[in-house]
Amino acid sequence: MTNKHLQETTTLNNGVNMPWFGLGVFKVEEGPELVHAIKTAICHGYRSIDTASIYGNEAGVGEGIREGMKEAGITREDLFITSKVWNADLGYDSTISAYEESLKKLGLEYLDLYLIHWPVEGKYKEAWRALETIYNEGKVKAIGVSNFQIHHLEELMKDASVIPAINQVEYHPRLTQVELKEFCQKHHIQLEAWSPLMQGELLNHPVLQEIAQTYGKSVAQVILKWDLQNGVVTIPKSTKEHRIIENASLFDFVLSEEDMKRINELNQNKRVGPDPDNFDF
């Protein structure tokens, strides 16, 4: 898959268009740096912003969105905004309340995508029922999940009337999630990568450095391009203007099949984040 420009979209299983590339704001605290990062990204052509209630920064994200829209001369409809319901709020009524709270903090009338953040046993199915209600009432454009393994998706889909549009998971060259990706493709669930750069751990990898040199690109650009060519939506996090610009400069080169294969072979099933089958929060 070869994307031609930053605002290119994939069509989700309900017909909604989602940008292939966006900005993540995990661990970015409220304040001027956050607002500036969002505004900078929007002004440089980003149209997708991903946050979550647990990040504690939805108000700042909303402020950055408003400033960015004004400066870039675009409307809310031009953007794709994602947030997520946290584990403590999983449940039918509490999930609906959490959605309304996120909207209030963001200062938005709707979200483009709302996700269940983690598959908490015994809770995520009720939360999904709430997401289906919000979706069926037209209050959100698409709904999905995050950190779901194959067995979580199978369990969810037993009773679901809406198939998740997205599964956002840890995904990078050390964790290629091949079986999960194949399962999602089979069920028309778009895979999305969080921590695509493995929190910086891969930036000094010799194979990736060698490939990057071949194309005259940075290691980060090579990894993010690998995501896109694998058909995975990606949302790298950065607050630095030059990185925000650099991360999105991916559309003037294509990784060869051989280099894609070399990167795929770096897989070690290694996580930097929690294991979705073994977390206690």
CB 55 within 8 A of CB 27: yes
d(CA 65, CA 36): 10
What are the strands, taking DSSP E only, across 150-264? 166-170, 190-194, 233-234
d(CA 54, CA 116): 12
Helices (H) and strands (E) in the chain, counts: 10, 10
Instruction: Examine the residue annotation and report whether 55 is marked as an active-site residue of this protein.
Output: yes
CB 189 within 8 A of CB 167: yes
Q: Could you write out the three-class secondary structure of 241-252?
A: HHHHHHHCCCCC
Of 55, 114, 124, 135, which residue is the catalytic one? 55
Q: Phi-psi bin for 160: left (phi > 0), alpha (psi -120 to 50), beta? A: beta
In Å, what is the CA distance from 70 to each residue of 16, 25, 45, 240?
A: 24, 20, 13, 21
Residues taking part in catalysis: 55
